Amino acid sequence: MVDRRRIVLLGSTGSIGTQTLDVVSAYPDRFEIVGLAARSNRALLAEQAARFGNPKTWLFDESGVEGLVEAATVPNADIVVVSVAGVIGLQPTVEAIKAGKTIALASKEVLVAAGEVVMPLVREAGVELRPIDSEHSALFQCLQGYRTDQIEELIITASGGPFRGWSRDQMAKVSADEALNHPTWRMGGKITIDSATLMNKALETIEARWLFDVPISNVKAVIHPQSIVHSFVKFRDGSVLGQLGWPNMRLPILYALSYPDRLPNTLKPWNPLDSPELTFEAIDETAFPALGLARKAMDVGGTMPCAFNAANEIAANAFLAGGVQFLQIAETVERTMERHESMKPTLENLLQADADVRRVAREVMAELAR
């Protein structure tokens, strides 16, 4: 009999959190929920707790990062799923690593802002960090059994979002409703805006650099409108492996929880005859400058990737609220980075940089609005 893996879920009421619980509920003999943390949705959190045997719960709007740290270090937990939005997930992740927990990571901000701090801790503690993001799960799957020095390139795919093929002039006056109309994925508001700007691919290239110990210059992105191929790995001998499947987050969630097993499930498997025409396009970095900004952030290093992430979060949410225009998201990020003086990336410096950059980004947006 296989022991059940005991799971703490940070961000249980969000999109990834609710899908994680759907996955867990399908395998009661394999997984057990021992802790749930949510930002503010008390009613849904209570329903979730009742559904999974009343594990301990935390509302981190009330308890702040201390509550998340307590949840992430529950003694009887084996796996901590980190799916909270924003840099608030950083400290709980660090403490969970130090406590010897396996990390199933869905929050981009943790590695984008602090990969230089987090990944050495992972190696020092001897724990596993398994990605949930579909692109990084694909890379993780393709790289099983291979060494880092065998990798030539990591190639992540992007649907292109609702504005694929548009020029900057065409995107100048787009609305939030237009930007939220994603062609293939159904996600939360901020991440959908990131998809429209291709900022999500920029964040993912940084994340991939840290997850797989590959220079940022060797992490590429291409447009793939069908969203069937989630990533490729190109090896030094010229061979290329890819991972394919329908756009459904439940499969990468299940793989992160069950690794190295592959569990039978009811998800529809991809069949090549169902989508025989798979196409790929280069990204127009003039119209979509996010990837170039990510490379600049990584070239500077230190706290600059944290600044890149924080400025984008502020600007994307401001666009959703009607505070800036669509093209001003990337402009806000670029101008904010220009004003940020990078520091050594300690946990304290990263948290301070995140707070400072958010203030500067708001100042930049106020200037752009004049």
pLDDT tens per residue across span 24-46? 999 999 999 999 999 999 999 99
The SS3 of residue 362 is: helix
Mean of pLDDT values over 287-304: 98
- According to the model, what pLDDT value does residue 190 have? 86
Q: What is the DSSP string of 27-43?
A: -TTTEEEEEEEESS-HH
DSSP symbols for 288-301: -THHHHHHHHHHH-
Straight-line distance from the first to the last Cα atom of the chain, in angstroms, rounded to the nearest whole number: 66
pTM of the model: 0.94
Domains of the chain and any CATH numbers: 5-132 (3.40.50.720), 145-245+268-285 (no CATH), 301-370 (1.10.1740.10)
**Of how many residues is the chain composed?**
370
* Residue 326 CB neighbour total at 10 angstroms: 21
pLDDT beyond 90 at 342? yes
At residue 330, does pLDDT exceed 90?
A: yes
Residue keyed to tokens 């979060």: 313
Cα separation, 88 vs 107, in Å, equals 10
* Average pLDDT over the chain, rounded to an integer: 95
Residue 300 has pLDDT above 90, yes or no: yes
Distance (Å, whole) CA 135 – CA 139: 6
What 3-state class would DSSP assign to 127? coil
pLDDT recorded at residue 1: 57
If one compares 3 and 339, the residue with the highest pLDDT of the two is: 339
- The H or E element that residue 361 is part of is helix 347-369
Distance CA 270, CA 343 (A): 46
CA angle 294, 166, 317 (to 5 degrees): 50
| pLDDT tens by residue, 267-279 | 999 999 999 899 9
